[in-house]
Amino acid sequence: MTAAPRVSVLTPVHDGEAYLEEALSSVSRQTFTDWELLVIDNASSDGSRAIARRWAERDGRVRLLASDEFVGIYANHNRAIAAMHPGSSYCKFLHADDWLYPECLERMVSVAERHPGVGVVSAFRLEGSAVKHDGLVPYTQEVVPGREVIRGALLGPPWVTGSPSSLLFRAESVRRRVPFFDETVWHGDTDAAYQVLLESDLGFVHQVLTYTRLHEKALTSFSHRANTYLPHDGRMLVRYGRQLLGEERWRRAMRDWLTSYLWYLGKQRVKPSRRKDRRFHEFHRRELDLIEAELGQDRSFGAALRACRLLLRAPQAASAEKAS
């Protein structure tokens, strides 16, 4: 095996030929050059694999892992982690429809090198035309205790994550947890970052270093349309709230979240456009199932969760309306 690169850049892709070339080019233009780029093709039916193969042929730092077995998005992320160089110091995801500004790796690695206790490095990012993560870290500060970051996010905004492309992980933290990404969590990058931040600090670069592209097929676009963030907030409260907020504060936060969720679902129920949106209803019903499962024997929020479920149309009802 070749000498260990300092950074493993991992690009999972499925039918991403429209933007993949731009994503890979952004890595090649990095001012920091000690990297490997691994493209993990998830049974693409377009030209994604051919694009990655051309890059691998002309740059020895680029590798293609091609699989004909289609798996879910975070299963493919986990597949990427298993394939990265075992000696790399840092792990950087780059989605095939995003890109990195030229100083991204240099600035992120610099923060991590100066602060050995940092497990995750974030930065400002551009999502479409909007700059995200403003207000997360004071300008005079580049390191925040991880648990403090999670506590703030549980009561947020602002949030520490927004796209897997916007974070750099210390590789040993990624390898330690198998699988790294929980495939049942829609925003699995946030959950994975929280797992690392429970035991480390957050480093932050006060510069826009990544670009998140918004387009119709992007998961981010569905997240905005269906407000996947709201049930995700509840699940993260269930998963991390007790240990980081304390019992009393956690219960207040849960009540506040449930009030917001009930209000949101109530407004959606009266919108004609939502009545036939089967994917919306199925997503939120699934999230409620997962939240109830993680609550386990704690039944104190059962009535409110049942009320949330009643505000969602049953799949068969949505199907009947669609057929009519």
Ranges for all domains in the chain classified under CATH 3.90.550.10: 7-215
Band of the pLDDT at 273, cuts 50, 70, 90?
confident
Q: Is the pLDDT of residue 318 over 80?
A: no
Band of the pLDDT at 1, cuts 50, 70, 90?
low
Preceding amide of 138 cis, omega within 30: no
Mean pLDDT, rounded, for 268-292: 93
Residue 3's pLDDT is: 86
Neighbouring-strand partners of residue 126: 131, 211
One-letter amino acid for residue 52 of the chain: A
> pLDDT tens across 50-101, in order?
999 999 999 999 999 999 999 999 999 999 999 999 999 999 999 999 999 9
What would the two tokens of residue 280 be?
């919306």
- Which homologous superfamily is 7-215 in? Spore Coat Polysaccharide Biosynthesis Protein SpsA; Chain A (3.90.550.10)
Q: Chain-wide mean pLDDT for the chain? A: 91
The residue ranking higher by pLDDT, 120 or 161, is 120
Residue 165's pLDDT is: 92
> pLDDT tens across 16-41, in order?
999 999 999 999 999 999 999 999 99
Element (H, E) at 256: helix 247-269
Mean pLDDT, rounded, for 265-269: 94
Residue 21's pLDDT is: 98
Q: Is the pLDDT of residue 43 over 60?
A: yes
Q: How big is the chain by its Cα radius of gyration, in Å? A: 20
Angle, CA 209 vertex, CA 47 and CA 205 arms, to 5°: 150
Residue 131: what are its φ and ψ, rounded to 5°?
A: -85, 130
Under DSSP, the state recorded for 121 is: E
Residue 43: what are its φ and ψ, rounded to 5°?
A: 55, 45
Element (H, E) at 36: strand 35-42
For 9-32, letters b (16+ CB in 10 Å) and e give bbbbbbbbbebbbebbebbeebeb
What would the two tokens of residue 262 be?
């009930």
> pLDDT tens across 192-239, in order?
999 999 999 999 999 999 999 876 665 667 888 899 999 999 999 999
Band of the pLDDT at 323, cuts 50, 70, 90?
very low
Q: How far is CA 151 from the centre of its chain?
A: 18
Q: Do the Cβ atoms of 230 and 291 come closer than 8 Å?
A: no
Q: What is the helix, strand, coil percentage profile of the chain, to 5?
A: 50, 20, 30
Residue 7's pLDDT is: 98
pTM: 0.91
Residue 209: what are its φ and ψ, rounded to 5°?
A: -120, -15
Q: Is the pLDDT of residue 321 over 80?
A: no
One-letter amino acid for residue 135 of the chain: G
Residue 301: what are its φ and ψ, rounded to 5°?
A: -110, 15
Report d(CA 125, CA 98) in Å as an integer. Answer: 11
